[in-house]
Every structure is written in C-alpha cells, then in structure tokens.
C-alpha cells in the first residue's frame, strides 16, 4: 500500500510526463491552437487509526473500596479538596476519557476537615505548617460544618472509609447513624455520613457491590496493623484469635481473619463480572510518621551529660546488682555523652522490676521508631521549672511514643501475611492486577520517585510525597499512585489511558 506522500510524488511525476508529451505535440503541429485540459487526479484521504483507550477493561462503573488511603484523607483529616484529589478521583477523571462513567464521592462540606455529631466536634480540623522554617504544625482554625447526622445521600463510587479495618467492611452497624452509638465509638462516623441505611443493616461491601462495578480498586488492610503501630504498640497482637468482637481499636488483626475477609471482598466485587486492581500494604518503616524523629534526638553538652549521668547513678547501680541477664543489664544501663544522645524510653517488653521500684526504661536504639507526635515534647519539661522531667532525658518517653523493635517485628509479620493473601488473590484471577504499594513507598523513602516533571520523597514536610500527618500522601503523592496504577492497567489490559502531571497537584499547606 502506498503512503500518502509516496502517492502524491508519483502523481506529480505523472503530471510532468503528460505536460512534456502535450508540449511536444504542440511544437510538431504549428497549426494547432488547442490548449490542453489540465489533468486533475484526486488524492485519497487517509483515516487515522482508532485508539482503544480502555483496552479490555470496562470503566463504566468504577468503585474504589478501602480505607482512608482510598478516601483521600490527608493532614489528619478528611476535607473536600483532599477528597477531590484522592487517587480514585484522579483515576476516574482519566477513566472518563476511556468510556468511564460518573464518579460520586461523599464529599464533606468544607475544606478545613473535622466532623460534628449534633453540632459537637468529634474530630480535629486538618493540619497546617506553622511556618516555612519549621516542621511544627497545628490544626487550622475554624469550626467544622460536616455533621454526621446530616448525611449525604445516594450511591457513592468512592467507598473509602477512614479508620476501617478489613473486618469492619463486612460488619453490620458499622455505619449506624445514631448519636449515642457514634459518640460511644460503636460505629464509624465517616461511614455513617454516607451509609445507604441509617440503621444497623448497611455494610460497606453491600453498598459497594450493589452498584455492580465494572472495575474496582481494593486497598484495605493498612489499619489492621497501622492502628497498633501508630499507638506505639499499646494494643495486642491477636495472632491466633479470629474473633474480632474481642479486639480493641489498637490491636493487630489475625492474618487468618484478614485472609478470610479479604477473599470475601474480592469475590463480592468480582461478582458483577468486573476487573480490578488489588493494592498491598506498605511497610510502616517507609512512612515519615516513623522515620522523621531520630532515636538520638537529644543534644547535650559535656556538663549536661555529666549531670544526667549523676542523676541516673542510683538507677544504674540497682540494675547492675539485679538478677537480670548480662545482656539486659547492658540494655537498661543509662549513659550520656556530649553530642547527640539516644532518648530514654519506656519498654514494656523489659523484665518487670517495678516491685523493686525500678521502671522499665532504657535508651532507644536505631532499631526503634520514635513516632512523629513525640517530637513536640522531646527536650521539654513535663513540669515547668523541673529539669528532671525533661521528656526523653529525665522523663522517659511513654510506651505510646515509641514503636520498639519487638513491636515493629509483630507489625512486619502481620503485614507480610496480609500481603501474601493480597498477592495470591491477584495471581489466582486474570481479571485482577496487583499494584505493589509496598515497593513504591519504599522507593519514595529510599531514592524518591521521579514522575517526569519532578521528584517526590518521603522526607517529612519538604519531600512532597506525604501530608503533615506523616501517614497519608499529599495530593501530589496520590497523583503519583494514580499514574502507577494507570501504567499497570495500560500494560496489562492493553489500554491507553493518559496519565496526569503530578507536578500540578499540591503538597503541604501553610494556611
């Protein structure tokens, strides 16, 4: 077949030959006065090839199912612009170019975040930085206008519910819209705000499956370990216990319970003949909530170190004369030098010597994670004017301020089990894709992610990837996630969905 250019060239050559022939005829016949008719040969038009944007996927009814990471939560709150920049909403806008339908979100009523129950605030407004020269943040001023008892109605494509654990998504009553129940913690206000039924009959998965998704994303399970981790390991590892009714909010979900629940969710979401993307759980060690505050964040002069060592002399002597193992004696001995010093922390995994009036304390190591919220009190006197109550020095950081190595290992074990379940579910069905958020978040921490027009990292405040709560991405971070999911869909389902420019999305706020 000829190309259009080649075809035109050959037509032009033909016209020239015809012209030469006619000229020759005129010169050999001097009596000829006939002017030759111009030769006109039509050039065929070519039709550009049709690009199949959706590939083998159908985006007409996209459902995003999950927790706060799906809802667009950021800066310790759910606020309207955060929802509008959730990774599912970014995906939905791009899916619309490939035949995707409308995408409804249960938008809150303002951009400061926070919830009310009957006019009383139950959650804080979003965080803002206090200045460009500091990492310190505070809640923005203002009163929330989103009252859970004045809900939004309809069907919602974004089924992301902050604080939801895997087993919550199957639980009747999780969205019970009753003031007393909500205030007592018997239901989730974020779900009650848009649950299909105000009574105890609605479940998250029922509300999602009823919309007959043609495509879905499923990102659930982070809170099954994160609530334990962010509380500094104050909960219980429920390994071996599949009865979620006995769990507290900060407990680690048993991996067997997670697996059973997860497989039910996948089955329900696939029941309408859909395709989808399953997303795994990032390591807590990759997010700034656990990596920002150094274990040795306590600077001391020679004089301060000497005075502090004197203050701990009696404690150290008691540890030395105890029946503890040599290794634990070394672990629990407190010693300071000039320069940066490890923080003094509580550790409830130490041998209990409280009967002898010896607290379970030690100095932190590089294997411990000091949580982000502890930064505000390190080096500050608990009792003003009493230097012996300086947090991290004379006053040990609380158990809730630190995720110790022992506790972090429990988190990692559960997370590994959850991710195995997620990967297995994706592998078992050709209609399911596996997005490795764990690897992506690790890359963001270790080297940063180049998105074309810039790079995001996991450095708190300045990295651009994480919001001020240190757990949830910024709008730019969510855009990077959306792009990576689009790339996966394009590659696996032969789609041609355009990506977005993350550089046009916001990061942290000063107002």
Q: CB 296: neighbour CB atoms within 10 A?
A: 16
The answer to whether residues 78 and 153 belong to one domain is yes
The answer to whether residues 122 and 213 belong to one domain is yes
Residue 171 belongs to a domain: yes
Note the pLDDT tens digit of each residue in 425-461. 999 999 999 999 999 999 999 999 999 999 999 999 9
- Can you give the pLDDT at residue 250? 98
Residue 500 belongs to a domain: yes
Residue 1 belongs to a domain: no
Domain that holds residue 367: 298-342+344-396
Residue 12 belongs to a domain: no
Contact 43, 4 (CB under 8 A): yes
Residue 71 belongs to a domain: yes
Q: Whole-angstrom Cα distance, residue 499 to residue 453? A: 13
Collect all residues with Cβ–Cβ distance below 8 Å to 320 and sequence separation of at least 6: 329, 333
Q: Whole-angstrom Cα distance, residue 92 to residue 462? A: 28
Boundary (domain end) residue, out of 357, 372, 396: 396
- Can you give the pLDDT at residue 38? 54
Whole-model pTM over 0.95: no
Identify which of 214, 374, 361, 212 has the alpha carbon closest to the alpha carbon of residue 298: 374
Q: CB 302: neighbour CB atoms within 10 A?
A: 11
The answer to whether residues 239 and 368 belong to one domain is no
Residue 43 belongs to a domain: no
Task: Give mean pLDDT, residues 265-287.
Answer: 98
Residue 219 belongs to a domain: yes
Q: Whole-angstrom Cα distance, residue 505 to residue 84? A: 11
The answer to whether residues 139 and 256 belong to one domain is yes
- Can you give the pLDDT at residue 76? 98
Report DSSP state, residue 42: P
Q: Whole-angstrom Cα distance, residue 431 to residue 408? A: 34
The answer to whether residues 390 and 412 belong to one domain is no
Task: Give mean pLDDT, residues 249-266.
Answer: 99
Residue 362 belongs to a domain: yes
The answer to whether residues 205 and 167 belong to one domain is yes
The larger pLDDT score, comparing residue 77 to residue 3, is at 77
Angle between helices 255-270 and 405-427 (to 10 degrees): 30
Boundary (domain end) residue, out of 358, 374, 396: 396
The CATH number given to whatever domain includes residue 495 is 3.40.50.1110
Q: How many domains does the chain have?
A: 2
Note the pLDDT tens digit of each residue in 168-217. 999 999 999 999 999 999 999 999 999 999 988 899 999 999 999 999 99
The answer to whether residues 275 and 335 belong to one domain is no
The answer to whether residues 280 and 303 belong to one domain is no
Query: 3-state SS of 278-346?
Result: EECCCCHHHCHHHHCECCCCEEECHHHHHHHHHHCHHHHHHHHCCCCCHHHHHHHCCCCCCEEECCEEE
Identify which of 62, 44, 47 has the alpha carbon closest to the alpha carbon of residue 8: 44
- Can you give the pLDDT at residue 134? 86
Beta strand segments in 342-421, E: 344-346, 361-363, 369-370, 402-403
Task: Give mean pLDDT, residues 154-161.
Answer: 98
The larger pLDDT score, comparing residue 48 to residue 405, is at 405
The answer to whether residues 285 and 309 belong to one domain is no
Task: Give mean pLDDT, residues 284-295.
Answer: 97
Three-state DSSP at 469 gives coil
Mean pLDDT value across the chain: 92
The answer to whether residues 317 and 433 belong to one domain is no
The answer to whether residues 210 and 331 belong to one domain is no
Name the CA dihedral angle for 64, 66, 71, 72, rounded to a multiple of 10 degrees.
-100
- Can you give the pLDDT at residue 246? 98
Q: Residue 357 pLDDT > 60, yes or no?
A: yes
Name the CA dihedral angle for 322, 327, 329, 331, rounded to a multiple of 10 degrees.
-150
Q: Residue 14 pLDDT > 70, yes or no?
A: no
Q: What is the distance of C-alpha 403 from the center of its chain? A: 20
The answer to whether residues 390 and 420 belong to one domain is no
- Can you give the pLDDT at residue 247? 98
The residue written with tokens 């043609």 in the block is 214
């Amino acid at each position: 077949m000829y190309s259009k250019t080649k075809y035109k060239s050959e037509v032009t050559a033909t016209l020239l030959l015809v012209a030469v022939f006619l000229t020759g005829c005129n010169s050999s016949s001097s009596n000829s006065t006939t002017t030759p008719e111009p030769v006109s040969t039509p050039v065929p038009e070519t039709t550009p090839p049709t690009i199949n944007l959706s590939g083998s996927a159908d985006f007409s009814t996209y459902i995003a199912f999950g927790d706060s990471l799906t809802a667009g939560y950021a800066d310790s709150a759910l606020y309207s612009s955060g929802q509008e920049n959730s990774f599912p909403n970014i995906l939905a806008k791009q899916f619309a170019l490939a035949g995707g339908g409308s995408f409804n979100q249960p938008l809150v009523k303002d951009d400061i975040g926070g919830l009310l129950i009957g006019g009383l605030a139950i959650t804080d407004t979003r965080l803002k930085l206090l200045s460009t020269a500091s990492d310190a943040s505070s809640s923005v001023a203002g009163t929330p206008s989103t009252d859970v008892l004045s809900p939004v109605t309809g069907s919602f494509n974004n089924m992301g519910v902050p604080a939801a654990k895997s087993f919550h998504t199957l639980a009747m009553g999780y969205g019970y819209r009753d003031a007393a129940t909500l205030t007592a913690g018997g239901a989730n206000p974020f779900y009650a705000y848009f649950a299909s039924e105000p009574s105890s009959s609605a479940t998250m998965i029922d509300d999602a499956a009823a919309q007959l998704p043609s495509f879905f994303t499923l990102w659930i399970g982070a809170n099954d370990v994160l609530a334990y981790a962010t509380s500094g390991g104050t909960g219980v590892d429920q390994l071996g216990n599949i009865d979620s009714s006995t769990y507290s909010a900060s407990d680690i979900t048993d991996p067997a319970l997670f697996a059973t629940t997860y497989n039910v969710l996948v089955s329900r979401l696939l029941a309408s003949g859909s395709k989808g993307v399953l997303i795994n759980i990032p390591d807590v060690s990759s997010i700034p909530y656990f990596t920002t505050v150094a274990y040795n964040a306590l600077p001391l002069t020679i004089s301060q170190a000497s005075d502090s060592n004197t203050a701990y002399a009696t404690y150290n002597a008691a540890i030395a004369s105890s029946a503890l193992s040599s290794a634990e004696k070394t672990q629990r001995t407190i010693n300071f030098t000039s320069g940066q010093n490890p923080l003094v922390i509580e550790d409830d995994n130490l041998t209990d010597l409280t009967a002898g009036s010896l607290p379970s304390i030690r100095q932190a190591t590089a294997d411990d994670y000091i949580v982000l919220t502890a930064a505000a009190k390190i080096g500050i006197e608990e009792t003003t004017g009493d230097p012996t109550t300086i947090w991290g020095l004379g006053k040990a950081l609380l158990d809730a301020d630190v995720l110790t190595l022992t506790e972090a290992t429990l988190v990692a074990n559960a997370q590994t089990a959850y991710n195995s379940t997620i990967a297995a579910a994706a592998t078992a069905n050709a209609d399911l894709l596996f997005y490795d958020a764990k690897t992506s978040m690790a890359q963001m921490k270790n080297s940063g992610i180049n998105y074309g027009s810039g790079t995001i990292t996991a450095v708190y405040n300045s990295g651009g990837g994480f919001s001020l709560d240190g757990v949830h991405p910024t709008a730019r971070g969510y855009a990077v996630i959306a792009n990576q999911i689009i790339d996966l869909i394009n590659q696996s389902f032969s789609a041609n969905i355009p990506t977005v420019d993350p550089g046009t999305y916001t990061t942290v706020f000063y107002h």
